[in-house]
Amino acid sequence: MKESSRSHNQHKNNNSAAKSKHTARGSKPAPGAYAKAGASRDGQHQAPRDTKKHEARTGEKTSPRGQQVPLDRQQDIRNARTHKPRQAKPHGSGDAKQQAPRHSGREHAEELRIGDQIVVTIKRLGINGEGVGYYRRKAAFITGALPDEVVHAKVTRVQDKFINADMVKIEKRSPQRADAPCPVFGICGGCQIQHISYPGQLKGKEEIVREAFSRYAGLQELRMKPILGMEHPWGYRNKAQLQLGLQEEGVIAGLYAADSHKLIDITGCPIQHPKVNEAVDKTRNVLQRLGIPVYQEKSNQGIVRTIVVRWGFQSGQLQVTLVAANDRIPRLDQLVKELRLAMPELTSIALNVNPKNTSLVFGNKTTILWGADSIEEALGDLEFTLSPRAFFQLNPLQTVKLYESVRTAAALTGKEVVVDAYCGTGTIGLWLAPYASEVRGIESIPEAVEDAKANAARNGRDNTSFYEGNAEELLPRWVKSGFKADVIIADPPRTGLDPRFIEAVLRTKPKRFVYVSCNPSTLAKDCKELLDGGYSLEWVQPVDMFPQTSHVECTVLLKWARD
């Protein structure tokens, strides 16, 4: 995922993992994101949660879950027209197979009504972590079900071409089913697959990638490397961005439940670093003890909206930012004093003002209340300064693995000219710069371009340059002027590559095209265009950037095959 802003909300949809790249690239969601970034790329949330890689692209914006049918579901729906479901045997008769509903009493899928119960054999894991099967040739998406399970489910939505249902009972249980350690799993929406063992999660994500390439690129035999997972897939998130609210017990900090404005307290979230959880709790407690008014959306009353905490894994520095509706915070001096006493490791306390009733987390004005104006962090030998609004990868350990997979794909010898398209704050380009002759980055967000230039200067990467604009517009201009890239790297939003950019790549014909993606569906569709245009797919490397979520990142190497 990109390093711009995917939020915990990625959480939501994608918590739906987010793809822009507002500061140090790498965190894409996702998804959510927290990665539902999608991830995100920051995968963190505020407004009804994130589903699109926007956090990755803006680092600030989270949006409600959309109502359109996802690409994966569209294909499942098409498959259902020709799928011949197996008839199930009664419970206890061995390998149970699918049978007609035992509770609905309806023979055909078209007769189903909300509230009916059906029995379905689950074929695979869906892109949002749901179980996918077929009922009477109609695709069925069942929350909480796992591949190879036979489940009873209650229908919650009936459309012409698919069914949504919630699991009621498991008739045949998957050996990969696990107990989720989080008390609000399934409620807050940030994680979608805590109920699967980690080996099962990795296997499911590999299958999501295989399915996407089979459906959208027509590749039945995919050259895929084993997914790069984590040794300890918990406590990996270095940032929390949590909405504040009031409940009977007092001030809470959390995420919005899926498709709602109901705020869920996520105290002690197991996928966030313990230092982040601790800082959120202490900040919330200080606000409550001092009686600082918490913003209430319905009444448009109160002041403090959001707590943003970032922990430097390498530097050990802590940054706390309060996002408020205005700067008239009572007892401000005492608030700063109490926060410093509660957290001696604090490096920076900031106030951001966002007066608008919007899904954007941050406003335009940020004031440092105490301490440094930024904290320091590192990825490998690259050093970064992170201001309160700067984006940075949410999972630094996995980001290094992702970037190394890109370096392997690029196979640089020191003589190549590299284009880093959709470059965000330039981290991939900076990672590759020591091995290339020249690196040019393209990014549409002005602030991210400035961050990329500053990062290059800080790290002495003087063979890099960064340009503001759209990759699909700048690259064709460069090509027309005679510019030739040996390697092009693209890390676009969840929506994938712009068709004009694909056309420019096919005209440029770089020897190697490296595609980094947090959305297997759009990745496979774009690869199909590139394969038809003359490229060959050498390999796909999945990377688990957001364990416990359904998001999966991929690096793909394509080589020009028509010389």
Catalytic positions? 518
Q: Which residues contact 360 (CB under 8 A, 6 or more apart)?
A: 46, 58, 60, 61, 354
Q: How many CB atoms lie within 10 A of CB 333?
A: 10
270/249 Cα distance (integer angstroms): 22
Comparing CA positions, the residue from 191, 194, 144 lying closest to residue 169 is: 144
- Crossing angle for the helix pair 499-508 and 471-480, nearest 10 degrees? 30
Q: Which residues contact 28 (CB under 8 A, 6 or more apart)?
A: 1, 2, 3, 6, 17, 18, 19, 35, 37, 38, 39, 40, 41, 43, 53, 56, 491, 518, 545, 553
CB 313 within 8 A of CB 377: yes
Which one-letter amino acid corresponds to residue 532?
Answer: D
- Runs of H (alpha helix) within 257-381: 274-290, 332-342
Two structure tokens written together for 49: 């949660």
Q: Which residues pair with 135 in a beta bridge?
A: 138
**Residue 288, helix vs strand vs coil:** helix
Comparing CA positions, the residue from 209, 203, 189 lying closest to residue 261 is: 189
CB 27 within 8 A of CB 40: yes
- Runs of H (alpha helix) within 365-464: 396-410, 427-432, 446-458
49/34 Cα distance (integer angstroms): 9
DSSP string, 475-540: HHHHHHTT---SEEEE---TT---HHHHHHHHHH--SEEEEEES-HHHHHHHHHHHHHTTEEEEEE
- Runs of H (alpha helix) within 159-263: 198-216
Q: How far apart, in Å, are the Cα atoms of 129 and each of 47, 333, 525? A: 22, 46, 21
Which one-letter amino acid corresponds to residue 333?
Answer: D
335/351 Cα distance (integer angstroms): 12
**Residue 319, helix vs strand vs coil:** strand
Q: Which residues pair with 122 in a beta bridge?
A: 133
